[in-house]
Structure 1
Amino acid sequence: AIADASTTVINGAGLIGLELAGDIRAKFPDKRIVLLSRDGKVLGSTHAPDVQEKVKKVLESMKIEVIAGAVPSNQLGGGTEAALEPGSVVLGSGEVLSYDVFLPAFAQGPNTQFLEGTGVLDGRKCIDANECLQCKKYPEILGVGVTSQP
């Protein structure tokens, strides 16, 4: 879908969104790429403001746009759903943003719904694990990325 798209919108300007935008730009130097950021910043609060500004300048030099705005909850699942066909979203500001491909690229929490009722999840829906990342209830199961351990 990206190969045929003229405009790809990536919802999220954190590390994952930046990497995805860079990968698309490397493969398709002439396509329009838009990073959608709630507050117009890149990397959010994970990096210092001076680093954010440097990254934003690099994005500009790569012709990757950064637009401030959020996708309302009644469109594309609040921006959590991918769309591989042309469409548009009306941002909270009222701006209409058209796309050929829309990709979410932000943390949406653990994808552990299939484990509900098994007794392996903690209150945050993460795998309840020990310091070795073993599930406390079933030590033969290892959890990576969605555990109670930092």
Structure 2
Amino acid sequence: MKKIVIIGGGFAGAHIARRLQNIYHVTLIDTKDYFEFTPGILRTIVSPKHMKKIQVLHTHYLHTTKLLRGEVTEFTAQDVFVGKKKIPYDYLFVCSGSRYNTPIKEKNVVLPNRADSLRKAHHQLESAKEVLIVGGGIVGVELAAEIIDFYPQKHLTLVHSKACLMERCDSQIQNYVENYFEKKGVTILYNQRLETKLGKFLLSSGEEVKTDLCFFCIGISPNTELFRKHFSSCLNERKQVIVDETLQLKGYPHIFVVGDLNDVAEEKTAQGAEKQAEIAVHNVLALEQKQKLESYHTFPKVMVISLGRFRAVLTYKQFVLTGFLPALMKWFVEWKTMMRYR
């Protein structure tokens, strides 16, 4: 039986493991022992109990997959290494995702990488009077909306380096969100960057921003460090992994790179990762059966941007819907997704 190794248990890795576990000998390597619905993690900063709704142990849905909790330290064209443990493979799926990072290491700075880190910051948020969010993309906007929805008495400042929020979105969406924040008393500082000096948060204008707690929602990077040793030529200038249309690593047809870390030109979303995973699954089966491989093509995606519990913005191509109905739809997608893993 062919050996399949999957690095990463997010949307792509979990999907691949579920699809292949009854066909091949599958090993899933993950730094955590659970699947997490990442679009829902921001709610945990204001409601820690929400974490139980968006996490499920890998053992609950992967009954025949070998699960290995740990961090991959290296991989070659034949083997994956977790510390000193060597795991040989016939096919490898690298689905290690992406993360936020920042050179700022102050104790009151939080990165929205996982629900667990946000949950731990809940008590800091409860006691904070002044809250600062750096980054006015979708994550920064959703996080700001969660906080101001649960804690309307807090003063929230949003710093963004561009002239408008969520610059890749339609102007109708931008205006709706900006008007919503204005009504909620959120201070938005445009065309500004942030740095720290002697423990102070300073704007590029030189002005100091007073805050009790800061969330950094910028600087997202693909987790591609594993490629630097043996596959550095497969990285582009943005440190993304270069793949063929079939999602295979350039020059290595038995290695698939799926999700946030590859160079597919599209908005990196959970639904995109799952669609890529399905194409990769099809292609590994096609390789075994000596059939034609399928190319991955980007597609228009429905996007729902949450503005707290009861309001959201839905966009699809040129269509925009705002209010309670999109919020209800996002909740339904979360519930439906988690039911597949329970």
Give the TM bin, normalised by the shorter chain. Answer: 0.7 to 0.9
What are the equivalent positions in structure 2 for 1:7-26 lying under 5 Å apart?
7-26=130-149
RMSD: 2.4
State how many pairs are aligned. 137
When normalised by structure 1's length, the TM-score is 0.75
Shift of 1:50: 4.7
1:71 aligns with 2:206: no
Q: Which residue does 2:175 correspond to in 1?
A: 53
5+ residue gaps, structure 1, are 77-86
What are the equivalent positions in structure 2 for 1:1-150 lying under 5 Å apart?
1-44=124-167, 46-68=168-190, 69-72=192-195, 75=196, 88-119=200-231, 121-124=234-237, 125-136=239-250, 137=252, 139-150=254-265
Q: Secondary structure in 1 aligned to 2:131? A: strand
2:227 and 2:235 in contact (8 A); partners too = no
Q: Secondary structure in 2 aligned to 1:33? A: strand
* Cα 1:139/1:99, change in 2 over 3 Å: farther
Amino acid in structure 2 at the alignment position of 1:142: V
* Cα 1:139/1:127, change in 2 over 3 Å: farther
Higher radius of gyration, 1 or 2: 2
Structure with greater contact order relative to length (CA < 8 Å, sep ≥ 6): 1
| Mean Cα deviation higher: 53-62 or 106-115 | 106-115
Q: Secondary structure in 1 aligned to 2:132? A: strand
Shift of 1:141: 4.0
5+ residue gaps, structure 2, are 1-123, 266-342
Q: Which residue does 2:42 correspond to in 1?
A: none
When normalised by structure 2's length, the TM-score is 0.36
CA distance in structure 1 between the aligned counterparts of 2:246 and 2:212, rounded to whole angstroms: 44
Q: Secondary structure in 2 aligned to 1:2? A: helix
Greater share of strand: 2
Greater share of helix: 2
